[in-house]
Amino acid sequence: MTDHTASNGPTLPYVLVLYYSRQGATRTLAEQVASGVESVSGIEARLRTVPAVSPVCEATAPEIPDEGAIYVEEADLRQCSGLALGSPTRFGNMAAPLKYFLDTTSGLWMNGALVDRPATAFTSTASLHGGQESTLLTMLIPLLHHGMVYAGVPYSETTLLSTQSGGTPYGTSHLAGSNADREVDADERSLAVAQGRRLAKLALALTSMRNARP
Protein backbone atom coordinates (compact mmCIF):
# COMPACT_ATOMS: atom_id res chain seq x y z
CA MET A 1 0.00 0.00 0.00
CA THR A 2 1.50 3.35 -0.96
CA ASP A 3 0.82 5.09 2.32
CA HIS A 4 3.65 7.46 3.26
CA THR A 5 5.49 7.32 -0.04
CA ALA A 6 5.97 10.15 -2.49
CA SER A 7 3.23 10.43 -5.08
CA ASN A 8 5.39 10.59 -8.21
CA GLY A 9 6.32 7.82 -10.58
CA PRO A 10 3.89 4.99 -9.75
CA THR A 11 4.82 1.73 -11.43
CA LEU A 12 1.33 0.28 -11.14
CA PRO A 13 -2.06 1.87 -11.65
CA TYR A 14 -3.61 2.80 -8.31
CA VAL A 15 -6.91 3.46 -6.64
CA LEU A 16 -6.84 6.61 -4.54
CA VAL A 17 -8.46 5.91 -1.16
CA LEU A 18 -9.09 9.43 0.06
CA TYR A 19 -10.63 9.94 3.48
CA TYR A 20 -11.16 12.39 6.29
CA SER A 21 -11.40 11.05 9.83
CA ARG A 22 -11.43 12.82 13.16
CA GLN A 23 -11.78 9.90 15.53
CA GLY A 24 -10.41 7.06 13.42
CA ALA A 25 -13.50 5.14 12.31
CA THR A 26 -13.49 6.33 8.70
CA ARG A 27 -9.74 5.76 8.62
CA THR A 28 -10.24 2.12 9.65
CA LEU A 29 -12.82 1.69 6.89
CA ALA A 30 -10.39 3.30 4.43
CA GLU A 31 -7.72 0.78 5.38
CA GLN A 32 -10.15 -2.07 4.75
CA VAL A 33 -11.18 -0.66 1.36
CA ALA A 34 -7.47 -0.35 0.53
CA SER A 35 -6.81 -3.96 1.50
CA GLY A 36 -9.63 -5.00 -0.87
CA VAL A 37 -8.00 -2.99 -3.65
CA GLU A 38 -4.66 -4.65 -2.98
CA SER A 39 -6.20 -8.13 -3.12
CA VAL A 40 -6.46 -7.60 -6.89
CA SER A 41 -3.24 -8.11 -8.80
CA GLY A 42 -1.92 -5.41 -11.10
CA ILE A 43 -3.20 -2.45 -9.10
CA GLU A 44 -2.40 -0.84 -5.77
CA ALA A 45 -4.06 1.43 -3.23
CA ARG A 46 -2.85 4.90 -2.39
CA LEU A 47 -4.15 6.11 0.98
CA ARG A 48 -4.43 9.86 1.40
CA THR A 49 -6.23 12.27 3.70
CA VAL A 50 -7.12 15.95 3.78
CA PRO A 51 -6.28 18.53 6.45
CA ALA A 52 -8.94 19.86 8.79
CA VAL A 53 -10.40 23.22 7.91
CA SER A 54 -10.51 26.00 10.45
CA PRO A 55 -12.74 29.04 10.89
CA VAL A 56 -9.56 30.91 11.83
CA CYS A 57 -8.06 31.69 8.46
CA GLU A 58 -4.53 32.05 9.87
CA ALA A 59 -4.53 28.48 11.25
CA THR A 60 -2.16 26.13 9.46
CA ALA A 61 -1.54 22.41 9.83
CA PRO A 62 1.89 20.74 9.70
CA GLU A 63 2.75 19.41 6.24
CA ILE A 64 2.86 15.84 7.57
CA PRO A 65 -0.08 14.74 9.75
CA ASP A 66 0.72 13.26 13.17
CA GLU A 67 -0.85 9.94 12.18
CA GLY A 68 -2.55 8.23 9.28
CA ALA A 69 -2.01 8.92 5.61
CA ILE A 70 -0.27 11.97 4.19
CA TYR A 71 -2.25 14.80 2.63
CA VAL A 72 -3.57 14.38 -0.87
CA GLU A 73 -2.23 16.43 -3.77
CA GLU A 74 -4.08 17.22 -6.96
CA ALA A 75 -1.77 14.87 -8.89
CA ASP A 76 -2.90 11.95 -6.69
CA LEU A 77 -6.42 12.49 -7.97
CA ARG A 78 -5.48 13.37 -11.55
CA GLN A 79 -3.47 10.18 -12.07
CA CYS A 80 -5.66 7.70 -10.21
CA SER A 81 -7.42 4.85 -11.98
CA GLY A 82 -10.25 4.88 -9.45
CA LEU A 83 -11.35 6.76 -6.35
CA ALA A 84 -12.75 5.59 -3.01
CA LEU A 85 -13.93 8.59 -1.01
CA GLY A 86 -14.55 8.28 2.73
CA SER A 87 -16.03 10.75 5.18
CA PRO A 88 -17.64 10.75 8.60
CA THR A 89 -21.28 11.78 8.39
CA ARG A 90 -21.76 15.38 9.47
CA PHE A 91 -25.40 16.43 9.66
CA GLY A 92 -26.26 13.85 7.01
CA ASN A 93 -23.56 14.99 4.63
CA MET A 94 -19.82 14.72 4.00
CA ALA A 95 -17.40 16.56 6.30
CA ALA A 96 -16.28 20.05 5.27
CA PRO A 97 -12.54 19.22 4.88
CA LEU A 98 -13.31 16.69 2.16
CA LYS A 99 -15.76 19.01 0.43
CA TYR A 100 -13.18 21.79 0.68
CA PHE A 101 -10.66 19.63 -1.16
CA LEU A 102 -13.21 18.65 -3.83
CA ASP A 103 -13.97 22.33 -4.32
CA THR A 104 -10.35 22.83 -5.41
CA THR A 105 -10.67 20.30 -8.26
CA SER A 106 -12.36 22.44 -10.92
CA GLY A 107 -9.17 22.30 -13.02
CA LEU A 108 -9.57 18.53 -13.27
CA TRP A 109 -13.25 18.96 -14.08
CA MET A 110 -12.49 21.44 -16.89
CA ASN A 111 -10.01 19.00 -18.44
CA GLY A 112 -12.25 15.96 -17.99
CA ALA A 113 -9.38 14.29 -16.16
CA LEU A 114 -11.59 11.92 -14.17
CA VAL A 115 -14.09 11.00 -16.89
CA ASP A 116 -14.77 7.23 -17.09
CA ARG A 117 -12.86 6.44 -13.90
CA PRO A 118 -14.78 4.40 -11.32
CA ALA A 119 -15.57 5.81 -7.89
CA THR A 120 -17.18 4.74 -4.66
CA ALA A 121 -17.83 6.18 -1.20
CA PHE A 122 -17.92 5.08 2.44
CA THR A 123 -18.94 6.69 5.71
CA SER A 124 -19.23 6.32 9.47
CA THR A 125 -22.00 7.62 11.73
CA ALA A 126 -22.76 7.84 15.44
CA SER A 127 -26.31 6.54 15.04
CA LEU A 128 -27.67 3.85 12.76
CA HIS A 129 -30.27 6.10 11.16
CA GLY A 130 -28.17 9.24 11.39
CA GLY A 131 -27.71 9.76 7.67
CA GLN A 132 -25.46 7.07 6.22
CA GLU A 133 -27.43 6.85 2.98
CA SER A 134 -27.84 10.62 2.58
CA THR A 135 -24.11 11.11 3.10
CA LEU A 136 -23.17 8.46 0.54
CA LEU A 137 -25.68 9.67 -2.03
CA THR A 138 -24.58 13.29 -1.69
CA MET A 139 -20.90 12.28 -1.87
CA LEU A 140 -21.59 10.75 -5.26
CA ILE A 141 -22.90 14.01 -6.75
CA PRO A 142 -19.53 15.79 -7.25
CA LEU A 143 -18.09 12.53 -8.55
CA LEU A 144 -20.80 12.39 -11.23
CA HIS A 145 -20.02 16.00 -12.16
CA HIS A 146 -16.46 14.83 -12.75
CA GLY A 147 -17.78 12.15 -15.14
CA MET A 148 -16.79 9.30 -12.85
CA VAL A 149 -18.65 5.97 -12.95
CA TYR A 150 -20.15 5.35 -9.52
CA ALA A 151 -20.08 1.82 -8.12
CA GLY A 152 -21.74 0.91 -4.83
CA VAL A 153 -21.88 -2.49 -3.15
CA PRO A 154 -24.14 -5.03 -4.92
CA TYR A 155 -26.46 -7.37 -2.99
CA SER A 156 -24.45 -10.28 -4.36
CA GLU A 157 -22.43 -9.36 -1.26
CA THR A 158 -25.01 -11.19 0.86
CA THR A 159 -23.74 -9.62 4.08
CA LEU A 160 -25.81 -6.63 2.97
CA LEU A 161 -28.93 -8.72 3.63
CA SER A 162 -27.94 -9.77 7.14
CA THR A 163 -25.91 -6.92 8.63
CA GLN A 164 -27.27 -5.49 11.87
CA SER A 165 -24.91 -2.52 11.73
CA GLY A 166 -23.39 -0.70 8.77
CA GLY A 167 -23.48 -1.60 5.08
CA THR A 168 -25.56 -0.11 2.27
CA PRO A 169 -25.81 -0.67 -1.49
CA TYR A 170 -24.62 2.92 -1.92
CA GLY A 171 -21.30 2.17 -0.24
CA THR A 172 -19.92 0.75 2.97
CA SER A 173 -20.93 2.37 6.23
CA HIS A 174 -20.01 1.94 9.86
CA LEU A 175 -21.96 2.44 13.04
CA ALA A 176 -19.58 4.02 15.57
CA GLY A 177 -22.13 4.57 18.35
CA SER A 178 -22.83 7.74 20.31
CA ASN A 179 -19.54 7.43 22.21
CA ALA A 180 -17.59 6.73 18.99
CA ASP A 181 -16.30 3.56 20.59
CA ARG A 182 -17.84 0.84 18.45
CA GLU A 183 -15.19 -1.00 16.45
CA VAL A 184 -15.66 -1.70 12.75
CA ASP A 185 -17.33 -5.12 12.98
CA ALA A 186 -16.83 -8.19 10.81
CA ASP A 187 -19.78 -7.42 8.50
CA GLU A 188 -18.72 -3.82 7.93
CA ARG A 189 -15.14 -4.95 7.41
CA SER A 190 -16.02 -7.61 4.83
CA LEU A 191 -18.22 -5.18 2.90
CA ALA A 192 -15.43 -2.57 2.86
CA VAL A 193 -12.95 -5.14 1.54
CA ALA A 194 -15.44 -6.29 -1.11
CA GLN A 195 -16.06 -2.68 -2.10
CA GLY A 196 -12.33 -2.08 -2.57
CA ARG A 197 -11.89 -5.30 -4.53
CA ARG A 198 -14.77 -4.43 -6.86
CA LEU A 199 -13.48 -0.91 -7.42
CA ALA A 200 -10.01 -2.23 -8.27
CA LYS A 201 -11.43 -4.64 -10.86
CA LEU A 202 -13.55 -1.87 -12.37
CA ALA A 203 -10.53 0.44 -12.43
CA LEU A 204 -8.54 -2.08 -14.45
CA ALA A 205 -11.48 -2.77 -16.80
CA LEU A 206 -12.19 0.91 -17.41
CA THR A 207 -8.49 1.63 -17.95
CA SER A 208 -8.53 -0.97 -20.75
CA MET A 209 -11.68 0.60 -22.16
CA ARG A 210 -10.14 4.09 -22.17
CA ASN A 211 -6.92 2.79 -23.75
CA ALA A 212 -8.94 1.07 -26.49
CA ARG A 213 -10.58 4.31 -27.55
CA PRO A 214 -9.98 5.21 -31.22
Q: Find the shortest distance in angstroms from Cβ 181 to ligand FMN.
A: 10
Site for ligand FMN in 69-88 (CB under 6 A): 88
Is there binding between residue 92 and ligand FMN (CB under 6 A)? yes
Q: Find the shortest distance in angstroms from Cβ 3 to ligand FMN.
A: 17
Q: Find the shortest distance in angstroms from Cβ 10 to ligand FMN.
A: 27
Going from the C-alpha of 77 to that of each of 17, 54, 74, 146, 174, the distances in angstroms are 10, 23, 5, 11, 25
Q: Find the shortest distance in angstroms from Cβ 187 to ligand FMN.
A: 16
Q: Fill in the per-residue mask, 128 to 157: x = in contact with ligand FMN (CB under 6 A), - = not in contact.
A: --xx--------------------------
**CA gap 130, 134 in Å, rounded:** 9
Candidate list 48, 90, 146, 201; residue touching ligand FMN; CB under 6 A: 90
Pick the closer one to ligand FMN by CB: 22 or 78. 22
Q: What is the DSSP string of 144-176?
A: HHTT-EE----TTSTHHHH-SSS-BTTBEEEE-
Closest listed residue to residue 195, CA positions, set 166, 169, 164: 169
